[in-house]
Amino acid sequence: MTAVMKLVVGALLALGPGAAETLTVSNRTLQVQLLHEEDFEGVVDRWRFDGRGRQWIEDGRLQMSADGFECTAWFTEQMEGDLLITYQARILEPVDANNINVFILGMGPDGGDVLNVLLTGSYPEYHKLPNYIWTFTRSHTRLRKDPGFHLLSEDKKTLPVPNRTYQFAVTIDGGKIRCYIDDRLIHSYDDPNRHRTGKLAFRTFHTRLWWDNLRVYRIISGGPRSAP
């Protein structure tokens, strides 16, 4: 567990959902308010699944098996404004594409609810919808913007290692989107026409993995916004 994750868990135990708290992400200190959390314990009823792979809850985690197929899990809670999103994922055996993807602020083609769109799980379908796509695969990590599949940032040196638990964080505030892995900044992009509302989805392809400890916060204040 990273220092950021320990801080998140400690703050939640002390303050509970909805309380203002201070979190540190890399070099940024943020004042935030918890909006949504998902630990995959008890009743898990806030997800919609696309694709031909299998998804199930086991050991308090969302499990996906997409060996030869794809899986997408939409979190049904709406998000908007300036956000901090954190979650964990771990690639398991057998190893194939090593694919950890997330769709951020996904909407329908007309700006409506993405859950009203019939989706089969085919990757090109999502490129027609407004969203950001952060991919972390065996050959690269990339940040893209849809519709149009526009490449915003790319890193071919940071690659996933199977059987290792990763802590991910995304901040979207002002016109900047930043993506972190284990408290290290990977992508940073200024988007003057950023997406401002939508839903989140976990996504994989030809990979066996699990997801856990999703947290969505509203950023109340924090800086420096002008930093990378």
pLDDT digits (tens, 9 = 90+) for 188-208: 999 999 999 999 999 999 999
Give the per-residue pLDDT at 7. 44
pLDDT, tens digit, for every residue of 83-122? 999 999 999 998 899 999 999 999 999 999 999 999 999 9
Going by C-alpha positions, the residue among 197, 200, 178 that lies closest to residue 189 is 178
Question: At 152, phi and psi to the nearest 5?
Answer: -105, -35
Q: What SS3 state is found at 176?
A: strand
Q: Residue 189 pairs with which residues in a beta bridge? A: 177
Instruction: Evaluate whether 150 touches 144 at the Cβ level (below 8 Å).
Output: yes
**What mean pLDDT is predicted for residues 212-223?**
92
Percent of the chain with pLDDT over 90: 84
Selected from 3.30.450.20, 2.40.110.10, 2.60.120.200, 3.90.1150.10, the CATH number assigned to the domain covering 3-223 reads 2.60.120.200
Count of CB atoms situated within 10 Å of the CB of 136: 23
pLDDT(13) > 90:
no
Two structure tokens written together for 140 = 């690269």
For the chain, domain boundaries: 3-223
End-to-end CA distance of the chain: 25
Instruction: Report the pLDDT value the prediction gives residue 82, as an integer from 0 to 100.
Output: 97
> Considering the entire predicted model, what is its pTM?
0.89
Q: Work out the pLDDT band at 17, boundaries 50, 70, 90.
A: low
